Structure 1
Amino acid sequence: MSTRQYGTFVVIGSGSGIGNHVAYTFAVKGFSHIIPLARNDWTYNRVCFFNAARIVLGGLLESVETIEENFETTNIALYIVAQWAIPRLRALSASSAAAKSSLLVTNSLLYANPIPQLFSLSLVKAAQCSLVMSLAKTFNSSGIHIALVTVGGAVAPEKLESKKYC
């Protein structure tokens, strides 16, 4: 993913083909806000994808401030996003039988297998897992798919962009 940050990218015609692929490419290149617009049933599918985390090497007895900052980034921010997104996703799901809505949250295996050098991240990912599972138990029955996207290892940015678009 690009370290350079750009603004908003609006995709008019965001179907499952070119529109999605172009939006993905612009997101990888550093656009922080992607707004998909479409004219058909695709508009009934909305996904709120939460991928915020701080990865800081440290030890088991690192500063409380580091843990607090990581907790705010990974859990408090997710909680605020959930407060905003869930009523909207629930309303969308109730609007049509064709409507599909999801809140997806990236996580890792650190909640089950903590790494002492990533103690703070391990701690907040365990809390995040608990939050997402609680949200799922509460809201999945109302038509919102709430789930973790579990990453089982280090992410290599050079492998994320397997295709080049021009």
Structure 2
Amino acid sequence: MSNNTRGALVVVGSGPGIGSHVARTFSSHGFKRIILLSRDPSRLEQDAKFIHSTTPSADISTLSIDLSKTSEIPSALVQVDKALGDTPLEVVLFNAARVGPSTLVEWPMEELELDLRIKVTGCYAVVQWAIPKLLAVKSSHKPAFLCTSGSIYKDPIPEVFSLSVCKAGQHNLIHSMHKKYKEEGVYCGLVAVGGVVADDRPQCNAENIANKFWALYEQRNDLEVEILDG
């Protein structure tokens, strides 16, 4: 596929780490229409500048979305529809997360519910919006739904049990999508990061993770790739 036929990339949960690096990597491979979503408008502007530093010609829109407020997600996605305009949706990256300690039993139930809304219910809401659009372009593009995961979906850490629970739910959802839609022409997959993301990490750095996402998207075979340090 030539670069000028690429559709749009939508990043849900943009930020200075994985989200913006994936957007920058995809833009360098011909994705010039990019829509970034996050709760923090000022951070979104920094992410757009970061992508433009590599791809000045990229057409970038930034929109605020708070996945914890599930009743507001549909209206936020309507704004994404408007930003897409005539450009078909080709790839979605779901990268939204709330990362922090959560102690078993002591962690308030309301906080677990909040995490589940952001990472699982929010992801499902985006899936419901995206899949029909991705199926609609399978004959002309390479549609995909990608998700940032973590090794804790299968090897939970009690000190961050809430994140572990949510990543398990996400993995199950994306796995179900992979089974259902692969033969229908939409690739669904995830990158499981097995460590803290930082620039000084040999494997778990944002640039390497972004390259793994691109390889996964291009190869379109396996459900996931896991990245581990050490």
What's the TM-score, normalizing by structure 2?
0.52
SS in 1 for 2:135: helix
Give the distance between the partners of 1:137 and 1:28, measured in 2 at CA: 36
- Paired with 2:120 and 2:172, the residues of 1 have a C-alpha distance of 10
Give the match for residue 164 of structure 2.
122
Q: Contact between 2:174 and 2:188, CA under 8 Å: does it hold in 1?
A: yes
Partner of 2:195: 153
How far has the Cα of 1:130 moved from its partner? 0.4
1:30 pairs with 2:47: yes
TM-score w.r.t. length of structure 1: 0.70
Distance 1:68 1:139, change over 3 A: same
Does residue 118 of structure 2 align to residue 73 of structure 1? Answer: yes
Deviation per residue, 1:38-74 (Å, 9 max, x gap): xxxxx88821100011112121111111110000000
Matched, 1:59 2:103: yes
Q: Hey, what does 1:11 align to over in structure 2? A: none
C-alpha change, 1:91 and 1:120, in structure 2 (3 Å) is same
Conservation of the 8 A alpha-carbon contact between 2:88 and 2:133:
no
Residue of structure 2 equivalent to 1:16:
29
For structure 2, the residue ranges without an aligned partner over 5 or more in a row are: 1-14, 18-26, 37-42, 49-58, 62-83, 209-230
CA drift at 1:18? 9.9
Do the aligned partners of 2:135 and 2:185 also contact (CA within 8 Å) in 1?
yes
Measure the CA separation in 2 of the matches of 1:28 and 1:160. 18
Instruction: Confirm or deny: 8 A CA contact 1:27 1:34 kept in the other structure.
Output: no
Instruction: Choose between structure 1 and 2 for higher RCO, CA contacts under 8 A separated by at least 6 residues.
Output: 1
**Cα distance per residue 1:99-148 (max 9 Å; x no partner):** 21100000000011111110100011111110110111111111000001
What is the alpha-carbon distance in structure 2 between the residues aligned to residue 161 and residue 136 of structure 1?
25
Aligned runs of 1:73-92 on 2, under 5 Å?
73-92=118-137
Contact kept in structure 2, 1:58 and 1:120, CA below 8 Å = yes
1:7-53 per-residue CA deviation (whole Å, 9 max, x = no partner) reads xxxxxxx6626959xx9xx979334x945x9xxxxx88821100011
| Structure 1 residue ranges (4+ consecutive) displaced by more than 2 angstroms after TM superposition | 14-20, 26-31, 157-162
Percent of aligned positions that are identical = 36
| Count of residue pairs the alignment pairs up | 139
